[in-house]
A = this chain, B = another copy of it.
Amino acid sequence: MLCPICEEAIDVDHNSYMAEVVVVRNKQVIFKDYINGFPKTSDMEVTYDAIIRLELPKNDGGLILTKNLYLSCDPYMRSRMSRSTEGSYVDSFTPGSPIIGYGVSRVLDSSLPNFKKGDLIWGLINWEEYSLIKDTSSLIKIQHIDVPLSYYTGILGMPGVTAYVGFYEICSPKKGDTVFVSAASGAVGQLVGQFAKLYRCYVVGSAGSKEKVDLLKNKFGFDEAFNYKEEQDLNAALKRYFPNGIDIYFENVGGKMLDEVLRNMRLHGRIAACGMITQYNLDQPEGIQNLFLIVTKSIRMEGFLVFDYYHLYPKFLEMILPLIHEGKITYVEDIVEGLENAPAALIGLYSGKNVGKQVVAIAHE
């Protein structure tokens, strides 16, 4: 067996070697091959073959070694499971290599000046227990630990910045605006709704179960919420909650819902196109029939990628941390334990199995 770091032959059972450096098996979630349609757990494989030396090699050229604590399951990851095509904004995963996603990690060792042993970080990491990271460009050091660490996969991480940017920068909200959020109990939606309420907007959310609708109304303070699966006629449902129309639509789902929302938008409405989760697994996306209403109602529909806005992260933290500490904003996570359960957790996103932000806990320190 070759050491994955120094490529010397090693024997994990060799006592004298083990006495000098700790070498452990490194559980990983491997992406098997490009897919079409709905992802399945069998598109990933949990392996126990890799080993990793828990110490950096000498002259490593600049690396950090991390113990990974939490993984984030996010809808956009589906696009990385397809072969890269025109229009994909992130590269595909590499078949045979681990899934990559946002996560929270502890630095065990570092030969880079800006990270040191003991640091906590969040950013893009491999789905594995331990990682050797060379490209640290996506990593942000965690400075505030008086909140659950898992929050850095959600409210204090990528989904949090997404909700912040999407609502404040893209939606151009005004007090009193009527706001509709789809997939409203998800990682981003629950925050958008709360931001909109704090901004004194009228806020309605849609979700896919009674439990989620209850959360929206009773935990997140949405004015109204409905279960889209129970509505025969989405247009009628939207008219019920927005008799005078919708000023702002925070779009997470696409498809039929978007079409019906367009019919209910007000003049000069704004649509923040954050995601279209209903479309990601379709070979042929659903056609949007009512798009001409963008012309007749002067609607602005704007897609955005959170990666373009990370310079706002300090400003975002300055806003959000006091709101969390004062209990003015709340966050619901759906945490599963164990890397071996990560594939099912990721897949569950696309059928709405998660209630709140889907997190995988790999290790509790």
- Give A contacts to B, CB under 8 Å: 79, 86-89, 254, 258, 263-264, 267-268, 273-276, 279-280, 284-305, 308
Contact = CB atoms under 8 A, between A and B. Distances in A.
A89 B297 contact: yes
A274 B292 CA distance: 10
Contact of A295 (B268, B273, B287, B297): B273
B276 A285 contact: no
Contact of A288 (B263, B274, B288, B296): B288
Given A87-B290, A273-B295, 17 more contacts: A86-B264, A254-B291, A258-B291, A273-B294, A280-B292, A284-B289, A285-B291, A286-B287, A286-B289, A287-B289, A288-B291, A293-B303, A297-B303, A298-B308, A299-B302, A300-B303, A301-B301
B296 A87 contact: yes
Contact of A303 (B263, B276, B279, B294): B294
A302 B298 CA distance: 7
Contacts of A298: 89, 302-305, 308
Nearest to A299: B303
A268 to B, nearest CB: 8
A289 B300 contact: no
A295 B274 CA distance: 6
Contacts of A287: 286-289
Nearest to A79: B296
27 contacts: A86-B263, A86-B264, A87-B293, A89-B296, A89-B297, A89-B298, A254-B292, A258-B291, A268-B308, A273-B295, A274-B295, A276-B291, A286-B287, A287-B289, A288-B291, A291-B291, A294-B301, A294-B303, A297-B303, A298-B302, A298-B303, A298-B305, A299-B302, A300-B300, A300-B302, A301-B302, A302-B302
